[in-house]
Amino acid sequence: MQHKTFYIKTFGCQMNIRDTEIMAQTLSENGYIESCSIEDASLVILNTCSIRAKAEQKVFSLLGSLRRNKQANPLMQICVAGCVAQQEGQRIIERMPHVDLVIGTQHIYNLAQLLENSAVNRTAVNLADDYEIPRFVPDVSTSRSQLKTAPPAPPPHFQYSRFVTIMQGCNNFCTYCVVPYTRGREVSRRVVDIIDEIRLLVDSGVSEITLLGQNVNSYGRANPVSEDGTPFSFAMLLHRVAEIDGLKRLRFTTSNPRDLSAELINCFAEIDILCPQFHLPVQSGSDAVLKRMNRKYTIDQYLDMVQRLRGACPDIALTTDMIIGFPGETHRDFQDTLDLLETVRYNGSFSFKYSDRPGTRAQQLADKVPEEVKSERLQIFQKRQDEISLERNREYLGNVVKIRVEKVSAEGVTGRTATNHIVHLPPEHNTVRPGDYIDVTVSFAGQHALKAVLLS
């Protein structure tokens, strides 16, 4: 009998990576076998991202080239999932006759059923506005023994470090952002479901968990999550997760500063296994721009949060996201952004040129910044951030840090610190194993990674 085989190409954020794992598991439970190439697959899924125009263009160009694969193999099913699917829906079905199924971001759990239906009728299924994140039992098998032909083994660090979705969607409506439209309104998962999922993972050998949500700080606000319906905050969830025996590191992403509570800041002082690392996207250093972005905090308030975080946890590593060239951004506004870099001295940042997204309020704003100005400012910003990252990394020189080993090969060993720094060790240390926690001495600091030697 010919096996049904699938290949999933993932674009975008960690939420999509986690959704891809869920789709892969659902398909495996329904008799599909994962394939290591598009050519060998009877089902190809694109799990897409629409956060910026560039991400979306990548999806459409791969979709275009799949037309040829379908001609060569007319029985191949093509499914578009993720944020582009959510936004474009039926339009993809109409424009692209080689696409069989388009599923919105909430339909990953009943994927197998939808695929069966789409074999009869090409369909687009979008997100309903009121949804629930189903109870989901994760696949804890670390080997994907069913893989057809040479397996693209899961990256070894995934066996010890996993993402767990705690909430989805966003109610904040920052004016540049498509997420409230592609992921819908905020929905939080029940505490018991999250704890059960993490327990299963930890029992199977996972020692590091990253809690995922578009805006984890507002966990538990939109719907009841506790068994007795009493209010339950994100900080309470962190405390509860930290009690799980065998869990060694806990992280979370991502947060909107406007929802950062004192209770959460205290967690960094109170919870041992909570990693001293915080991604706190600021988006701009100018109050005027923040206002037009609908971020609902000022730079003074943001700096106060930074100070309190550093007070609670002096060695906390801070990272941020920055949008360069938001409509109306003046030279002065951009200088404010550069000044913020000097004040906070982030360990690292992700910076992007503003990109117009359909349906957002920012798309309607006048005073769009010309492309060449955005490029020039982005370059200036990134150059300065790179210098600061290097200076920050040099502060670790000579320090003893604990790393969780992720990869061991003939070329050497790679691991990660609690602060989320990548650390490389020379090949002579490759007697350690992925998942081990080892103490190392930092011997070299680069812009993006550290080098170290094993502490004897």
Residues near ligand SF4 (CB under 6 A) are 170, 172-174, 177, 179-180, 214-215, 256
Smallest Cα–Cα separation from 111: which of 21, 191, 179?
21
- Amino acid sitting at position 359: G
User: What x-and-dash track marks residues 273-302 binding ligand 5AD by CB under 6 A?
Assistant: --------x-x-------------------
For residues 97 and 71, the answer to whether their CB atoms sit within 8 Å is no
Partner whose binding site includes residue 5, from ligand SF4, ligand 5AD, none (CB under 5 to 8 Å by kind):
none
Phi and psi torsions of 58, nearest 5°: -60, -40
Residue owning tokens 């039926």: 90
Window contacting ligand 5AD (CB under 6 A); options: 54-62, 96-104, 292-300, 347-355: 347-355
Q: What is the DSSP letter of 278?
A: E
* Residue with Cβ nearer ligand 5AD (414 or 420): 420
The angle subtended at Cα 193 by Cα 248 and Cα 109, nearest 5°, is: 115
* Residue with Cβ nearer ligand 5AD (254 or 441): 254
User: What x-and-dash track marks residues 33-72 binding ligand 5AD by CB under 6 A?
Assistant: ------------------xx--------------------
Sign of CA dihedral 59, 62, 65, 66: negative
Residues constituting the chain? 456
Cβ 428 to ligand 5AD shortest distance, Å: 39
* Residue with Cβ nearer ligand SF4 (240 or 361): 361
For residues 242 and 273, the answer to whether their CB atoms sit within 8 Å is yes
Contacts of 14 (CB under 8 A, 6+ apart): 163, 210, 212, 253
Continuous H helices in 313-407: 331-344, 371-394
Window contacting ligand 5AD (CB under 6 A); options: 60-68, 150-158, 269-277, 349-357: 349-357
Q: Determine, following the binding rule CB under 6 A, whether residue 220 of this chain makes contact with ligand 5AD.
A: no
* Residue with Cβ nearer ligand SF4 (51 or 101): 51
User: What x-and-dash track marks residues 144-183 binding ligand 5AD by CB under 6 A?
Assistant: --------------------------------xx------
Phi and psi torsions of 79, nearest 5°: -125, 135
Q: Which helix (H) or strand (E) holds 119?
A: helix 111-120
* Residue with Cβ nearer ligand SF4 (213 or 348): 213
Partner whose binding site includes residue 352, from ligand 5AD, ligand SF4, none (CB under 5 to 8 Å by kind):
ligand 5AD
Q: What is the DSSP letter of 341?
A: H
Smallest Cα–Cα separation from 13: which of 200, 241, 281, 193?
281
Cβ 179 to ligand SF4 shortest distance, Å: 4
* Residue with Cβ nearer ligand 5AD (101 or 323): 323
Smallest Cα–Cα separation from 108: which of 220, 6, 3, 216?
6
Window contacting ligand 5AD (CB under 6 A); options: 149-157, 222-230, 328-336, 348-356: 348-356
- Candidates 60, 158, 352, 444: give the one binding ligand 5AD (CB under 6 A): 352
DSSP 418-450: TT--EEEE-GGGTTS-TT-EEEEEEEEE-SS-E
What's the token pair of residue 404? 């969780």
Cβ 270 to ligand 5AD shortest distance, Å: 27
Cβ 292 to ligand SF4 shortest distance, Å: 13
Residues in touch with ligand 5AD (CB under 6 A)? 51-52, 176-177, 281, 283, 321, 323, 352, 354-355, 357
